[in-house]
Amino acid sequence: MLVKTKDKLCKELNKIRVKGETVGLVPTMGALHQGHLSLVKRAVADNKVVVVSIFVNPTQFNDKSDLSRYPRNLNADLKLLEDSGCSIVFAPDTNEIYPEPDIRTFDFGDLDKVMEGKHRKGHFNGVAQIVSILFELIKPDRAYFGLKDFQQLVIIKKLVKMLNLQTEIVPCPIIREPDGLAMSSRNELLSDEERKNAPFIYEILQEANNQTGKKSVKELINWVINKINSNTYLTVDYFEIVNDKNLQPVTSWEDDCKKVACIAVFCGKIRLIDNYFLN
């Protein structure tokens, strides 16, 4: 069922709540691919009813040109979801979500001061705005987020605690193309040559994982940046090795935490992100 208004969505969800059925939410910005479908599949397995939201949220884009070129194809998305088992597709327009400007600000401490937050000012505040709106509207029992956006996942968990919500956040694995490139809606914006070279990012992350005992943290960071920048199609925006809980930079392999290698790379004009849990 396609729903485009908040009123209609609430009416449909009220019918479901009366029956005591569990609701899962998969928030997306559309341009769906198999990575999104893996989230839907997990949600369908866990819940009686699944809502997939499709909304390109303007408040999380600090670069207006990035917003304008973000891929949009609702008809293709709906076709992809036909046999997915999802119950409701919520695809509102911008005025439906933001009848007035959303001026709320969220304090995530240091979680949004690093990596994506440092390089995309205001991005996570915009993410928190739309996710909190969706959570308030849908009141999902569980919500599903991919591990590819690792920093976002940590911040969403913090948001749930801050707002004292009962929604369980379910992390789902990164889904990759056969050549290793993390699936992303942005991949379809790559030229043929850019697409051929983009898997080099994951290749180097894998190699980096084998270097953790041979190089210091700082040496490994420099090695990865230099390796990727040696590819003429790729330019590193940032590469950091961080604590999986507080997202702060790891300074030594002896640090007592799981260590995540997080990277953002420009492939031509398209910005791709990826991450890898280091052994």
Question: Is 213 a residue whose pLDDT tops 90?
Answer: no
Tally of domains in the chain: 2
Q: Are residues 94 and 134 in the same domain?
A: yes
Residues 194-209: tens digit of each pLDDT: 999 999 999 999 999 9
pTM, two decimal places: 0.96
pLDDT tier, 39 (very low <50, low <70, confident <90, very high otherwise) = very high
Domain containing 201: what range? 185-274
Average pLDDT over residues 218-227: 98
How far, in Å, CA of 40 to CA of 72, rounded?
Answer: 19
Residues 167 and 244 in one domain: no
**Same domain flag for 156 and 207:** no
Which phi and psi (to 5°) does residue 54 adopt? -125, 110
Q: Do 42 and 119 sit in the same domain of this protein?
A: yes
36 is catalytic: yes
Per-residue pLDDT, 237: 98
In a domain, 180, yes or no: no
Which of the residues 33, 36, 119, 123 is marked catalytic? 36
Among residues 114, 146, 172, the one where a domain terminates is 172
pLDDT tens track for 41-88: 999 999 999 999 999 999 999 888 999 999 999 999 999 999 999 999
Same domain, 162 and 190: no
